[in-house]
Amino acid sequence: MARAIAFDALVRLLRQPDKRIYIKLQNFKKPWISNYGEIPKLINKADDDPWDVIVPGYPRLETSKNFRIKELLGVYKLPNGNHKLIIDIHDELHQDRGRVRTDMKKFKSKYEERTKLLGNIIYF
């Protein structure tokens, strides 16, 4: 059962070392970033949908499996509250931290061009 959770509470939850929170990636035909998905059990009150996550620095990952969140790297904050969480996951592949900022810069540019919403990327 999904439950609504405020941004500040979600950040605290994701910073806990023993968290067992899973994401589901979405399969887009023309994605702005290879790995975009959601936390199905946690709802963002801004849009009443699951919290959005971005997993930069990886090649395209399988959308047929769930991934456990390893670390909250930052957030792409938007004025409407529909923030995007920037995360790393537990997987046999390892995140290329050098690509994270490049991937996020590309996503931000495409997102803002499409939505006309201007946001800020904040890394923790």
pLDDT surpassing 90 at residue 36: yes
pLDDT higher than 80, residue 70:
yes
Predicted confidence at residue 32, as pLDDT, reads 82
If residue 122 lies in a helix (H) or strand (E), which one and from where to where? strand 120-123
Alpha carbon distance 46, 27 (integer Å) = 23
**Top CATH class, 3-123:** alpha beta
CA distances from 70 to 45, 67, 83, 109, 112 (A): 24, 9, 19, 26, 27
Tokens 């059990």 correspond to what residue? 41
The mean pLDDT value for 8-13 works out to: 97
Convert 82-101 to b/e letters by CB count within 10 Å (16 or more is b).
bbbbbbbbeeeeebeeeebb
Average pLDDT over residues 98-118: 96
pLDDT-derived band at 51 (thresholds 50, 70, 90) equals: very high
pTM: 0.95
Residue 30 pLDDT > 80, yes or no?
Answer: no
